[in-house]
Amino acid sequence: MLTELHIGIDDTDSEKGGCTTYTAAVLFQELLGRGFKPSDFPWLVRLNPNIPWKTRGNGALAIHFFIDEEQIEDVHRIAMETVDKTTVASAHGTDPAIAFLKGQVPRALHEYSTRALHDVLSVREARAVARRAGAEVHALMGVRGLIGSLAAIGAGLDFVEHTFEIIAYRISENLGNPRRIDHDSVKLMNSKYGNRTFNNLDSESGRVLVSPHGLDPVLLGIRGYSPNDVLDAFKELQLNEEIERVMIFRTNQGTDAHLGKTRKAVDLKPHQSGALTGRVDDVPRVLRGGHVIFRLRDDSGLIDCAVYRPTGSLAMAARDLLPGDTVRVYGGVRRLREGTPTLNVEKLEVLHMVEKIQQANPMCSSCGGRCESMGRGQGLRCKKCGQRNEYASKIQVRQERHIQSTIYVPPPRARRHLTMPDSKPRNISNEYLRVENFQLRVEDFN
């Protein structure tokens, strides 16, 4: 009798190498090669990006197969062996874990996964959720990976908003060497598929963003809105090195999934993510280096908001805010500043702007020249014709605002994996690759 088996994997990567997406790709293709039928693409699930002990992307993985009940133990063994052999065991802080769940994913696990996007969860809670859900969990070294392995299974990417990413992996001989990708081919690909993919290039600097820079086995990744889009875009690239394997993932990247929780200033705690609406309480301060700090007030209290210089146009917009402007800020609390939570802003939505009024000397009624003060309480005198008016005073002049009532996001180079792109295509194709026939042959790309 066939049953659907969900396998969650987390934390096989480290600064010394390894990659949890690679572990999932190896396991997916191993099971596929043994004749097991997948029920979906593998899932790449990005969790709360503000967790301080995470690796860069805080990603966990889940794969889903139809397995005969009599073969489940064999699949468990294959999965454990795959996680073990793809983990850099000597790396400090690597806590690989794996979770197994048979049948339908319960609501409790979906809710747990949602919380993992914007809160800090404990290992104790993970174990309790696993018991309630009937999941079997294994921690191979430390225990922290249990949280992500369960959250990946509960992500529900088959029914919530999602995107796709195709990832190509390097052969072991090239690990640690510079990645050899023809950048001109990336730019040409982006010009052809830029409305079907996202974050290939940084629009301001022209920097190519499809490849990482560390010791991990990822050569490059292209993110887009359907499996066909990312596969077609990938075929446009000129790769100047051999690849070991290619995999397409269903993912929550580019969906703002971590910013859906509405917060109050008084309730914010370190490392949480979410959105907060309020009024700007003071004139923004520009710090050395170009970082911007402003205070936001809602009906519960005050919170400091920080916008950092690398966010480009977002930082420029923050500089032009005025007291009384109503905004919605999106981001995460990464530290405490003088006992007050500081929200690191990832996105800024300007809802209402106050008028910018400046005091100015009036123009002369006789010649049109600019008037100047004759001293405190002594009126004004025209600079051009000398006419005096001892009763005249400064007037209020409305100044142009340099920001608009819109949403400001950082340029692609400064975005998180989860950050939604500037725009999305209106009509996203439903013609997906058939997952039951899904197999990318590496010889087709080398």
- Apex CA 426: angle with CA 421 and CA 432, to 5°? 90
Residues 73 and 219 in one domain: no
Whether 289 maps to a domain, the answer reads yes
User: What are the C-alpha distances in Å from 432 to residues 29, 40, 223, 338?
Assistant: 19, 11, 15, 51
Q: What is the DSSP string of 311-368?
A: GTHHHHHHHT--TT-EEEEEEEEEEEETTEEEEEEEEEEEEE---EEEEEPPBPTTT-
pLDDT of residue 429: 47
Q: Indicate the residue among 133, 153, 173 that finishes a domain.
A: 153
Q: Which tens digit of pLDDT belongs to each residue from 26-76?
A: 999 999 999 999 999 999 999 999 888 766 678 999 999 999 999 999 999
Residues 273 and 341 in one domain: yes
Residues 25 and 115 in one domain: yes
Whether 171 maps to a domain, the answer reads yes
| 152: nearest Cα among 207, 221, 105, 192 | 105
Whether 427 maps to a domain, the answer reads yes
Residues 107 and 190 in one domain: no
pLDDT of residue 400: 79
| Dist CA 189 CA 192 (whole Å) | 5
Whether 158 maps to a domain, the answer reads no
Q: Which amino acid is at 299?
A: D
Q: Look up the CATH number of the domain holding residue 211.
A: 3.90.600.20
Beta carbons within 10 angstroms of residue 168's beta carbon = 25
| Dist CA 12 CA 376 (whole Å) | 72
Q: Look up the CATH number of the domain holding residue 311.
A: 2.40.50.1010
Residues 307 and 435 in one domain: no
Residues 31 and 20 in one domain: yes
pLDDT of residue 261: 93
Chunked mean pLDDT (size 10), the chain, 446 residues: 93 76 94 91 94 78 95 96 83 81 95 95 93 91 86 93 94 91 95 93 89 90 93 94 94 94 91 95 90 94 91 90 96 73 92 85 74 76 76 72 89 90 60 54 60
pLDDT of residue 431: 44
Residues 304 and 378 in one domain: no
Residues 33 and 125 in one domain: yes
Residues 12 and 145 in one domain: yes
pLDDT of residue 216: 87
Residues 248 and 292 in one domain: no
Whether 209 maps to a domain, the answer reads yes
Q: Indicate the residue among 153, 187, 216 that finishes a domain.
A: 153
Per residue in 298-332, is it b (16+ CB within 10 Å) or e — as a string? beeeebbbbbbbebbebbbbbbebbeebbbbbbbb
User: What are the C-alpha distances in Å from 295 to residues 289, 309, 318, 334, 426?
Assistant: 19, 17, 11, 16, 36
| 41: nearest Cα among 64, 59, 24 | 64
Beta carbons within 10 angstroms of residue 7's beta carbon = 28
Residues 276 and 222 in one domain: no
Residues 33 and 112 in one domain: yes
Whether 222 maps to a domain, the answer reads yes
Whether 227 maps to a domain, the answer reads yes
| Dist CA 111 CA 121 (whole Å) | 12
Half-sphere exposure of 360 (CA within 13 A, CB side): 11
Indicate the number of domains in the chain: 4
Can you give the residue range of the structural domain that contains 368?
Answer: 356-399
Whether 317 maps to a domain, the answer reads yes
Q: Look up the CATH number of the domain holding residue 64.
A: 3.30.70.2200
Residues near 339 by Cβ (< 8 Å), separated by ≥ 6? none
